Amino acid sequence: MTKVSRYIIYLLILSTSYLGAEPQLSSWYTEKTGKYARIFTSKANETSETTSITWSRGQGIQNSPAYAGIHEIYNSEDWVYIKTSGLGFHIMGPWYLNEAKTRDFPSFPGNTATTYRIPKSPSAYNGNVTTPAGAIGYFVDGVALFDATDTFSYITSSGSDGSPLGGGRGDGVWNRDAFVNEGVTFDAAFAHQAMNLHHYHANAPAIRHLLGGSVDYNESTNRYTENFNGMHSPILGWVADGHPVYGPYGYDEPNDPDSEIRRMISGYQKRDGTNDSTNLNSTGRRSLPRWVSTLEGRSTSISSNRYGPNVSNQYILGHYLEDYAYKGHLGLIQRRDYDLDEHNGRFCVTPEFPEGVWAYFTAVEDDGTPVFPYNVGRNYYGTPSGGSVNAIPAQAVKVFSGGPNKQHQAKTISSSGNVVTFVWDTVEGASYRVDASPDLKTWYEGNVRFTADSTNQGSIYNKPNSGSDRFYRMVRTGIEDFDNNGFSDDFGDGPEPNANNGGGGINPGGGGAGGGPNATGNDLVVSPERGNTGNTFNLHIRLTIVGGPPNFAAPQLVSIGEYQGTNISRNPANGIISASVRIPNTASSGKATVFVRFGPGPRGEPPLNLSLVDGFEIE
C-alpha cells in the first residue's frame, strides 16, 4: 500500500549532505542511501543476475523490502550513534555449506534494526580485553564486524571440534579460525550471517570497492578482485574502542605522508618452523604461542588433556588461532620485518588523521586473500566502551537521515528548447510528482509522476509554449510498504507509525509570501549547551519553529553572544545547522544568547533572526 506525504523540496539549489569534518562522523558510507537491500538467493540466480528484495530462510525473513546500510547518524559530545539495518549496499549472497554449492546455508540475512555507538575519541591503550562473540564494531556501510574466531574450539576428549551441528563449543584452548573453517560459507564478499546478522570476519571487498579502495568488481560474475590503485586505504569501519579500521594500504613510514604507499604486513605468521617458531608439523599441537600469555593471560604450557590434533589435511596449519605466532616474539622487528602489532594495527598518520592515530588495518595478500588476524587481533587495542544500545539520548543531534527518509534533490538538470531533463536523487519505492512555477509564487501541479525503482531516477518536463516555467519542485507523494523496524518516519508516509522516531526530521518548504514565522527567543535547540573559554566548539542547531526556511537554506550568521561562527553550513537532509564558534579566554562567564540569521528569501521575504535566549553557558 502507498501512503501519501505532503512534504516537498523546492529545487532552487543543489546541496550535498554535511556530516562534519570529524572522521567519526564523515566516514560513514551514505552515497547509496535509499536503496533496497538485495541478495542472490541461489547460484542459479547469481549466474542469471536475478536479485531478490524479499526472501525467507531460517532466521532471515524479509517479507517486505528493507533499506540497506546506515539510515541515521547522531552526534553527541562523547559518542557517535548509528542506526543500521545491518544489510550491505552491494548484492549479498548466495551462501552454501559446501564447495560444490549443493547444500544451502541455513539462514539468509535480515534487518537487525541495530543502534550502535562509537566513542568520539579513540580510547587510550589498554590491550587486556579479548574480543567477544558477535559484533565488535561496524563497517562504514552498516555491516557488522566480527573477530577472527567462529567461537568453536577443539575438544580433546572427543578428538573433534565443537560444532554448531552438535558436540558443544569446545575446550577453549585451540580456537577455530573463522575464515579457514567457515570460509566455504562466505559469499563473494567474504561475508555470511549468524542467524540473521550479516557480518564480515576478514577482508571486506564490497565496501572497499564502493569506497574506491583498490578493489574491482565484475558485475556479470559477482566477483571482487584486488587491484592496488596507489592510494592510501580509506577508513573501512570503527571498532568499539573508538579506533578506526583502514584497508590494507598505508604509508611506508608511519609518520611520513609523503612516503611510499604500500600493503601493510601482518605481525603474525604460522608456527611452521620459520624464524625459529615452533614447528607444529613435527611437534604436534602441544604448546601455545606466547601471545596467549601476553594478551589473554594463559600459559603457553598445556597438559596432555588439552593437546590439539596433529596437523593433517583435516586440521591444516592455520585451522586454529593458536597455530600462529607473533613475529615480535620471534625476534623480528616491527617496521623492519612487519608493520602491524599484536592488535593488528599501528600508530601512524593517515589522510583523515594528519596528526596521527592508532589504527587497525585489514591484512591481505597481494591478491586480496585474507591474512591472519584479518582486521582486529585477539584483544582490542583500547577499551571497548562502545556497543549496541537500546536508545539514543535526547541531547544527541541527528546529523544524517537516510534510507526511506532521504531528502530528494536534483542531481543534474539540462534543457533543450522547451524540454527540461532531470536526474533525481530518490528513495527506491517512493512516488514523486514534479511541479513547475514561473515565479516561485504560482505553482502548477505537474503531470510528471513516477515511482522510483532506484536511487537515480530520470524524468522529463515539457514546458508550455510560453516557455515561462523557470522553477521546479519535486513532491514526494507516497512510498511502497517496507520493513520499517528500527526506522523513523520523517516524511509521515511510512507503513506504520512507530516509537523510534528521532529528532531532526524533514521540515516543510519555506514560509508564505509575507515572510517567515515570528521569532520568539526560544526558536532553537543547541548542542553543546556549555563550554569553557579558550576553546572552539562545533555547534549544532535545530530549528523548533514551524514553517521556517527550507532545509537547503543556510544561514548567513551564527553566533554565541558577540562571538561569531565560521564554517557555517546546513544539512539539507534534516535541516541541522553546523558552525564553529571560538570563545576567547577573555570572555566573561555566564549565559549567552545563541543567534541565527537568515538573509532575504528568494521571493523577497525579509531577513529572519532566530535565537535561543541564554542558550549557551560560557564557563
On whether both 357 and 498 belong to a single domain, the answer is: no
Instruction: Give the pLDDT mean for 530-559.
Output: 81
- Indicate if the pLDDT at residue 346 is higher than 70: yes
Q: Are 389 and 116 in contact (CB under 8 A)?
A: yes
Question: What are the residues whose beta carbons fall under 8 Å from the beta carbon of 86, sequence distance 6 or more?
Answer: 109, 110, 111, 112, 114, 142, 143, 144, 197, 198
On whether both 603 and 483 belong to a single domain, the answer is: no
Whether 581 maps to a domain, the answer reads: yes
Q: How far is CA 134 from the centre of its chain?
A: 17
On whether both 301 and 447 belong to a single domain, the answer is: no
Whether 512 maps to a domain, the answer reads: no
Q: What is the percent of the chain where pLDDT is above 90?
A: 67
On whether both 457 and 532 belong to a single domain, the answer is: no
Q: What are 389-448's pLDDT values in tens digits?
A: 999 999 999 999 999 999 888 888 888 888 889 999 999 999 999 888 887 778 888 778
On whether both 495 and 532 belong to a single domain, the answer is: no
On whether both 360 and 430 belong to a single domain, the answer is: no
On whether both 114 and 169 belong to a single domain, the answer is: yes
Q: What are 565-582's pLDDT values in tens digits?
A: 888 988 877 788 999 999
Task: State the Rg of the chain over Cα.
Answer: 27
On whether both 377 and 233 belong to a single domain, the answer is: yes
- Indicate if the pLDDT at residue 514 is higher than 70: no
- Indicate if the pLDDT at residue 152 is higher than 90: yes
On whether both 67 and 144 belong to a single domain, the answer is: yes
On whether both 189 and 157 belong to a single domain, the answer is: yes
Closest CA to 58 of 184, 196, 163: 196
Identify which of 165-174, 393-402, 455-464 has the greatest average pLDDT.
393-402
Which of 65 and 487 is assigned the larger pLDDT? 65
Burial of 187-201, coded b for 16+ CB within 10 Å and e otherwise, reads bbbbbbbbebbbbbb
Whether 455 maps to a domain, the answer reads: yes
Please report, for the domain that includes residue 423, its CATH number: 2.60.40
- Indicate if the pLDDT at residue 150 is higher than 50: yes
On whether both 172 and 265 belong to a single domain, the answer is: yes
**pLDDT at residue 588, rounded to an integer:** 86
Q: Which residues pair with 400 in a beta bridge?
A: 73
- Strands of the 197-200 sheet, one edge to the other: 191-194, 197-200, 144-145, 137-139, 235-239, 244-246, 357-361, 345-348
The number of distinct structural domains making up the chain is: 3
On whether both 49 and 140 belong to a single domain, the answer is: yes
Dist CA 396 CA 540 (whole Å) = 10
Cell numbers describing residue 461: 518536463
Whether 274 maps to a domain, the answer reads: yes
- Indicate if the pLDDT at residue 552 is higher than 60: yes
Please, what is the average pLDDT of the chain?
Answer: 88
**pLDDT at residue 467, rounded to an integer:** 62
Closest CA to 440 of 474, 470, 403: 470
Q: Where does a domain end: 350, 385, 420?
A: 385
Cell numbers describing residue 431: 512516488
Q: Where does a domain end: 443, 471, 506?
A: 506
How many helices (H) and strands (E) in the chain? Answer: 6, 40
Question: Among 150-164, 191-205, 245-259, 584-598, where is mean pLDDT lowest?
Answer: 584-598
Dist CA 148 CA 268 (whole Å) = 13
- Stated pTM of the model: 0.78
Q: Are 13 and 554 in contact (CB under 8 A)?
A: no
Question: With bands split at pLDDT 50, 70 and 90, how would you rate the model's confidence at 495?
Answer: confident
Whether 397 maps to a domain, the answer reads: no
CA distances from 203 to 3, 206, 226, 358, 362 (A): 41, 9, 11, 19, 6
Question: With bands split at pLDDT 50, 70 and 90, how would you rate the model's confidence at 279?
Answer: very high
Residue 14 three-state SS: coil
Provide the domain limits for residue 598: 524-618
**pLDDT at residue 144, rounded to an integer:** 98
Please give the torsion angle defined by the CA atoms of residues 595, 543, 549 and 429, in that order, rounded to the nearest 10 degrees. Answer: 150
**Considering Cα of 349, then 353, then 358, then 360, what sign does the dihedral take?**
negative
Whether 307 maps to a domain, the answer reads: yes
What DSSP state is assigned to residue 513? T
Whether 147 maps to a domain, the answer reads: yes
Question: With bands split at pLDDT 50, 70 and 90, how would you rate the model's confidence at 2?
Answer: very low
Whether 175 maps to a domain, the answer reads: yes
- Indicate if the pLDDT at residue 606 is higher than 80: no
Instruction: Give the pLDDT mean for 146-171.
Output: 90
Q: What is the percent of the chain where pLDDT is above 70?
A: 89
